[in-house]
Amino acid sequence: MKKRILITGAAGFLGSHLCDRFIKEGFFVIGMDNLITGDLKNIEHLFKHPNFEFHHHDVTTFVYVPGSLDYILHFASPASPIDYLKIPIQTLKVGSLGTHNLLGLAKEKNARILIASTSEVYGDPEVHPQSEDYYGNVNTIGPRGVYDEAKRFQESITMAYHRFHGLETRIARIFNTYGPRMRLNDGRVIPAFIGQALRGEDLTVFGDGKQTRSFCFVDDQVEGLFRLLMSDYSDPVNIGNPDEITILDFAEEIINLTGINKKIIFKPLPQDDPLQRQPDISRAREILGWEPKVYRKEGMKITYNYFKGLTKEELEKSEH
């Protein structure tokens, strides 16, 4: 019998790559999405596949899936600061009510569930690099709190289902991941810089650009997530690439990659924007035997080529 997996957020960036991976592994994949930040284009190549079906559904309302389920990946949630500032209530709801519904479904179907948590549970971290035993530094009532606290609640309720109901749960703390199928106008730094380069605009660095991030290519991320789902480990695991860079240096890299003759301009740093972020991946190395393989230079070339292939209209639409 084919294993059956439900993937929420299937039309989004990570969800669509996960659909591809599980189809490739021979699973029957049920993709679910309400398309609030996703795009059916990301999965339209799967529509005719005999092992794929799509359910257009908002997971904050009761989730029903006919038949058996072996696994659930809960990836539905706005993920970029611009998105979750625009739809703060939906963000809180999908992390809380949505997660509750999916845990209930997992219990009903006796399925193993992996939830997509985030490095944002560490907030603006005072410990560097961040390992899983760090409790974090989150401003509950700040504008980013809607995402951070939804994800922290998501982790808590997941552990409660694990402890109280004995549900098989997995928690991935995902650090900044990039690659093809990101939305050009989602506001995250990689599509933002590449979009600006392609439109011939100056690159906007927020603050003084000394804040750091560590970017993981999507193929590495998917491999880490796959291994975590198949592991027997229920505490959180960081999945990300520890190769850290300042945003200013990263802007220079984009200028070199795209060969544009443009300058960097500075804009105010958004409130509570974390000043440093780098995953400690010792746990993933030890438990999953996983570490990222794709260098930023290589991953960025693939990503840039993907965005270059978009039409002129799509590029113009991405201006904000």
Which positions touch ligand NAD (CB under 6 A)?
8-9, 11-15, 33-38, 58-60, 75-79, 94, 98, 116, 118, 174, 176-177
Q: Write each residue from 102 to 121 as x if it is in contact with ligand UDP (CB under 6 A), else as -, in one continuous string.
A: --------------------
State which residue, 211 or 278, has the beta carbon closest to ligand UDP: 211
Q: Write down the residue that tokens 């945003």 correspond to.
A: 247
Please enumerate in sequence order all residues whose Cβ is within 8 A of that of 124, keeping only pairs 6 or more positions apart, or say none. Answer: 137, 138, 139, 272, 273, 274, 275
Q: Which stretch binds ligand UDP (CB under 6 A): 66-74, 135-143, 182-190, 301-309?
A: 182-190
The binder of 73, among ligand NAD, ligand UDP, none, by C-beta within 5 to 8 A per type, is none
Q: Which SS3 state, helix, strand or coil, does residue 85 take?
A: helix
Contacts with ligand UDP by CB under 6 A: the residue count is 16
The binder of 204, among ligand UDP, ligand NAD, none, by C-beta within 5 to 8 A per type, is ligand UDP
What per-residue string of b and e applies to 222-250 under the rule 16 or more CB within 10 Å gives b?
bbbbbbbbebeebebbbbbbbebbbbbeb
Of 84, 147, 161, 178, which one is the catalytic site residue? 147
Q: Which stretch binds ligand UDP (CB under 6 A): 16-24, 97-105, 201-209, 288-296?
A: 201-209
Site for ligand UDP in 148-177 (CB under 6 A): 176
**Whole-angstrom Cα distance, residue 237 to residue 104?**
23
State which residue, 162 or 213, has the beta carbon closest to ligand UDP: 213
Q: Which two tokens stand for residue 162?
A: 């694990």
The binder of 222, among ligand UDP, ligand NAD, none, by C-beta within 5 to 8 A per type, is none
Active-site residue flag, 147: yes
**Whole-angstrom Cα distance, residue 267 to residue 300?**
24
Q: Write down the residue that tokens 């845990």 correspond to.
A: 103
Using alpha carbons, select from 244, 245, 239, 243 the residue that is nearest to residue 282. Answer: 239
Catalytic residues, which ones? Answer: 147
